[in-house]
Amino acid sequence: MNDVKSGEKKRLYLYDNLKFLLIVLVVLGHLIDDSTVKLFGDGGGETGVPQAKVFSGAFVFLYAFHMPLFLFISGLFNRGHDDGRKVLGKTLGFVVIGMLMKCLNYWSQVRFQTDFDKENSDGEIFFDLLGGDGVYWYMFAMAAFMGLCYLLRNSRPWAVLTAAMVTALAAGYDPSVGDEYELSRIVVFFPFYYCGYVLDPEKVADFVKKWYVRVLSLGVIGIWTYFCFGKTKLVYPLRMLLTGRNSYFSISEATDMDCTFLSRLLVMGISALLCLAVLGIGLDVKIPLITKCGSRTLQVYFWHRTIVYMLTYYGYQAYLAKAFPERWELYLALTAIPIVLVLCIKIFGVPLDMVLKGIRGRNDIIKENGNGK
């Protein structure tokens, strides 16, 4: 605190450190998802318990909080943007990056399509301009969230949050609210982003440092760990709810669960508790390498899915399972760390910086040629 000049805000390393953890978990989630499906089969469809049981528990464990918390942190640092042109520039930036990710994802799926994919699908991969279930959904959701928050900037937070929650709970009854325009995820995850948007990052950081919050955080994480890895069959049906893209009817049809708005409310409550718990165990100190990498998560997110497709295509998961039958799950999980560290190298962020700077420059030209405000 003493090395901060008067008038400057101290950088909150807590959030960079957490973003590093979260991006590792994002990569881990896609690594274990692909290996489980492609190596062993699901034994009952998407919601069946895979033969690699530890991955089933890990998937539910991670998806309960990693994207909600990512969006919450994003919301924390996007508040106070009242300049419509700046909001427009950032929104367009996310849309353009999302479209680039969609193109990269399509190319990766075609180029690295495995024999398993060919045998268990129609064999043809389509480019879906307006929808799709790829990782690019996050970019379009961010664009929508920024636009929505700007339009609702003068509204009462409690009213917006109430309406957002009601909409998220009701959306599950409409089967048409799905991957088209990424609408389902936008609706389901908006409350998490908005909670961050209306809160102050410093006050949140101060609150989660309290000793009783840290104690409760360890308890919440411990209980969730027990259920995910000790009672996997009990919690695994929640998988389709955690992704935020399925209707209640489709979930009920695919699982033994009678899915209603109460199911989603339960999952959102679990996610909120886990988000708070993970915040509570975070460290607000500068950690060599980790803190710096935590400030470069966008570029990791952009490229990581292609790396996972490549690893699966070249048989990396199968190799680990054959070479290390007793520990291959651990080695596969640890693979997420070097992937993140490599993709944090500055060169991987250059294309994204060029896109964002280009849009920002174009926005400045519009401003100069406009009304001068």
Q: What is the 3-state secondary structure (H, E, C) of the chain?
A: CCCCCCCCCCCCHHHHHHHHHHHHHHHHHHHHHHHHHHHHCCCCCCCCCCCCHHHHHHHHHHHCCHHHHHHHHHHHCCCCCCCHHHHHHHHHHHHHHHHHHHHHHHHHHHHCCCHHHHHCCCCCCCCCCCCCCCCCHHHHHHHHHHHHHHHCCCCCHHHHHHHHHHHHHHHCCCCCCCCHHHHHHHHHHHHHHHHHHHCCHHHHHHHHCCHHHHHHHHHHHHHHHHHHHHCHHHHHHHHHHHCCCCCHHHHHHHCCCCCCHHHHHHHHHHHHHHHHHHHHCCCCCCCCCHHHHHCCHHHHHHHHHHHHHHHHHCCHHHHHHHHCCCCHHHHHHHCHHHHHHHHCCHHHHHHHHHHHHHHHHHHHHHHHCCCCC
Is 354 within the bounds of a domain? yes
Is 2 within the bounds of a domain? no
Q: Which residue is associated with the tokens 């419509």? A: 84
User: What is the pTM for the complete model shown?
Assistant: 0.90
Distance CA 349, CA 354 (A): 9
Number of domains present in the structure of the chain: 1
Cα angle value 300/267/187 (rounded, 5°): 65
Residue 328 tokens read as: 């291959």
Is 8 within the bounds of a domain? no
What is the Cα 333 distance to its own chain's centre? 18
Distance CA 128, CA 134 (A): 10
Residue partners of 75: CB distance under 8 A and separation at least 6: 145, 149, 192, 193, 194, 195, 196, 197, 198, 199
Instruction: Tell me if 207 sits within 8 A of 213, measured CB to CB.
Output: yes
Q: Which residue is associated with the tokens 């990052």? A: 201
Residue 291 tokens read as: 């803190």
Residue 319 tokens read as: 């190799």
Domain range spanning residue 145?
A: 13-368
Is 373 within the bounds of a domain? no
Is 5 within the bounds of a domain? no
Tens digit of each residue's pLDDT, the chain (373 residues)? 434 333 446 789 999 999 999 999 999 999 988 665 433 333 334 432 235 778 889 999 999 999 999 999 999 998 766 678 888 889 999 999 999 999 999 999 889 887 666 666 655 677 787 777 789 999 999 999 999 999 999 999 999 999 999 999 999 999 989 888 899 999 999 999 999 999 999 999 999 999 999 999 999 999 999 999 999 888 988 999 999 999 999 999 888 889 999 999 999 999 999 999 999 999 999 999 999 999 999 999 999 999 999 998 888 888 888 899 889 899 999 999 999 999 999 999 999 999 888 886 655 544 444 444 3
Q: Which residue is associated with the tokens 């030209």? A: 365
Torsions phi, psi for 250 (to 5 deg): -65, -35
Instruction: Tell me if 281 sits within 8 A of 216, measured CB to CB.
Output: no
Instruction: Tell me which residue of 257, 163, 204, 235 sits closest to 12, measured CA to CA.
Output: 204
